[in-house]
Amino acid sequence: MNYQNSCTIGRPVFQPGFTQRRGRRRAFELPGGAMLWLAAVKVALVAVGVALIVNLWLGHAVSTVRQDIATIAEHQLVLKDEQMALLAERAGLMSEQQVQREAGSRLALFAPEQDQVLKLR
């Protein structure tokens, strides 16, 4: 292509890796090309899908743990009530009158009378 030039200009033997664009740029051209962005969108969709699955799994795990905690708390309240009843029963059984009554009825042990006790010096 010689325009008003008598010397022929040929292409160089060395081909550089960069050249000037020959076509005009489109208004909404994505940097990196369509293939790069298509791959990026696919990776993003897979990442969002994995995130949703993990979110559902963690939500289910949290709700299961909350239900277990509520069940254990209810069981703990029942055990606390039972413990209070047993402590009250124990206090009644450990009283002095109850011990003397049970010792007399089961073992035939009674407290001595005043005239039965001799004190030696």
**How distant, in Å, are the alpha carbons of 57, 71, 81 from that of 67?**
15, 6, 22
- Is the pLDDT at 119 greater than 70? The verdict is yes
Pick from 9-23, 67-81, 85-99: least confident:
9-23
**Parent domain of 100:** 34-105
- Considering only CA atoms, which of 119, 102, 118 is closest in space to residue 110? 102
Tokens representing residue 71 in the block: 């069940």
Question: Does residue 73 lie within any of the structural domains?
Answer: yes
pLDDT above 90: percentage of residues in the chain? 50
Q: How far apart are CA 102 and CA 95, in angstroms?
A: 11
**Does some domain include residue 6?**
no
Percent of the chain residues topping a pLDDT of 70:
76
Residue 74 lies in a domain: yes
Does the residue 60 lie in any domain? yes
Q: What CA–CA distance (Å, rounded) separates 83 from 77?
A: 10
Q: What is the pLDDT of residue 116?
A: 83
